[in-house]
Amino acid sequence: MALTTIDNFINNEFVKPTEGAYFDTFNPAHGVPHGQIPDSTKPDVDLAYKAASTAFTTWSKTTKAERSRILYKIADLIDARQDEFVRAESKDQGKPISLAKSVDIPRAAYNFRFFAGKILHSVEEAAELEGVGFNYSQRMPIGVAGLISPWNLPLYLLTWKIAPCIACGNTAICKPSEFTSLTAYMLCSVLKDAGLPAGVVNMVFGTGMKAGQALVEHPRIPLISFTGGTVTGAKIIANSAPYFKKLSLELGGKNANIVFADCDFEKALTTSLRSSFANQGEICLCGSRIFVERPIYEKFLNGLVEGAKKLKVGDPSAPDTNLGALVSKEHWEKVMSYIDLGVKEGGKIECGGQKPVSLQGEFQNGYFLEPTIISGLTPSCRVMREEIFGPVVTIYAFDTEEEVIQITNDSEYGLSCSIWTENGRRARRVAGEIQAGTVWVNTWMARDLRMPFGGMKKSGLGREGGEHSLDFYTELKTICLAD
């Protein structure tokens, strides 16, 4: 099988890494290499910075209307190539093709459309200072932004960064995940075809240890947006601190899914299956800690197990596949180690816990795992406290509202939470007490791009979305005009 070779994209041209080194990227479903990625280093980041800083002098002065026009054109071109992007995203990340088609690629296009419109309708503050003068605020683009995106929703989350960044007049150097670089590479030609000027968006592919660290430590890059793990987020804070960079970090989660006895049972059960195992559990917002009020615990557990056993694990390109492959062998091994740990900690594997034996032939070396439910653990167990990021959930019976709030908040993380109850007062009361950046009541993954998104505690720093994205990608200054 011929390998697809990816090159860096700098100043609207595809260029080889300065040191000429590449490494393999794997097809998760087959467990074999299917591409080669540049092993970029600091000189590559320096080249990208030169292109981006030069482009900034003109792009920052381009009218909002012109920037908006180009963003709309980018969205249209993604739509025109949707099937190609869908196939590539599924092959590269291991996700079911149905998910890439219904969520990832449409959302990538929508990110550009949303911010193309948003910049045309934002307003600033103005106030009269009586007897002195008149004050008004003005947003200014910051400069060259470093955008580091993860492997679980590759194009979806990369465009979530690029779109507001360039809409506000900044230029960008992007470092996609080394595990899932294919659709970012494909996006480069879309940007060029849409008429985006040279140097406005640059892609430097490679590892976090080399390319990512060079980006974070570059003394002239004032802003870093990162989505990924908490450990890496801590390193970014430390490495960027000497330069006082502006940071937005969307990090890990160990999200609670709280099911009260008065819930709409079927809706709670159906959605909990999705929030547990969508994208193989490789979504930072998945509800991996399921807390069920004791009167319905056994019924809910039985229903969850029954539903999980019906989910199809296999060929990501098959339209009826529910769970594809985990992103890498290393990640598969990590997830399996947590399942083993759950047993050692006293847990019971209610279902799953192993690779499907039915997968043979071209898929026998793929990184597949059955949806796994573990019961019998206490809230202090590591499996109930540490982020696993795979198709593994724990389930626990609680007795009181106060108890479940305490257990939910006794976590290093605070990204999201779902609450299931038909009692409106309880819903408002519990939602108000939960320490998480997003709380869903009787739903999951209902994202509104106008609203702030981000985490509390070790789940991140800052907020993006709507005005919050404009705040992050600009500097706000006050201008005073004397009478």
Instruction: Express each pLDDT in 89-140 by its tens digit.
Output: 999 999 999 999 999 999 999 999 999 999 999 888 888 888 888 899 999 9
The Cα 368–Cα 329 span in angstroms is 9
Q: Which amino acid is at 292?
A: V
Instruction: Determine the angle formed by the axes of helices 154-167 and 64-80, rounding to 10 degrees.
Output: 160
Closest CA to 425 of 439, 448, 441: 441
The answer to whether the beta carbons of residues 160 and 194 sit under 8 Å apart is no
The Cα 350–Cα 372 span in angstroms is 7
Strands, DSSP E only, in 115-268?
A: 126-129, 133-141, 144-148, 171-175, 201-203, 223-227, 246-250, 256-259
444: pLDDT confidence band, cut at 50, 70 and 90?
very high
Catalytic positions: 250
SS3 348: strand
Question: Residue 82's pLDDT is what?
Answer: 97
The Cα 310–Cα 304 span in angstroms is 10
For residue 24, is pLDDT > 80?
A: yes
Instruction: Express each pLDDT in 408-418 by its tens digit.
Output: 999 999 999 99
352: pLDDT confidence band, cut at 50, 70 and 90?
very high
391: pLDDT confidence band, cut at 50, 70 and 90?
very high
Instruction: Express each pLDDT in 212-233 by its tens digit.
Output: 999 999 999 999 999 999 999 9
The Cα 89–Cα 176 span in angstroms is 13
The Cα 353–Cα 338 span in angstroms is 10
Closest CA to 75 of 162, 199, 152, 198: 162
Q: Given CA atoms 92, 94, 98, 99 in this order, what sign does their dihedral have?
A: negative
The answer to whether the beta carbons of residues 339 and 392 sit under 8 Å apart is yes
Q: Which domains does the chain have, with CATH numbers?
A: 4-251+459-482 (3.40.605.10), 256-449 (3.40.309.10)
Buried b / exposed e along 42-65 (16+ C-beta atoms within 10 A): bebbebbbebbbebbeebbebebe
3: pLDDT confidence band, cut at 50, 70 and 90?
confident
The Cα 154–Cα 150 span in angstroms is 6
Taking residues 440-444, report their average pLDDT. Answer: 98
**The tokens 């570059």 sit on which residue?**
218
The answer to whether the beta carbons of residues 348 and 305 sit under 8 Å apart is no
Q: Is 361 left (phi over 0), alpha (psi -120 to 50) or beta?
A: left
For residue 1, is pLDDT > 80?
A: no
Q: Which amino acid is at 407?
A: I
pTM score of the predicted model: 0.95
The Cα 244–Cα 240 span in angstroms is 7
Taking residues 4-19, report their average pLDDT. Answer: 97
Instruction: Express each pLDDT in 258-293 by its tens digit.
Output: 999 999 999 999 999 999 999 999 999 999 999 999
Q: Which two tokens stand for residue 225?
A: 């947006």
49: pLDDT confidence band, cut at 50, 70 and 90?
very high
Question: Residue 397's pLDDT is what?
Answer: 98
Please give the mean pLDDT across all residues of the chain: 96
**The tokens 């008149």 sit on which residue?**
134
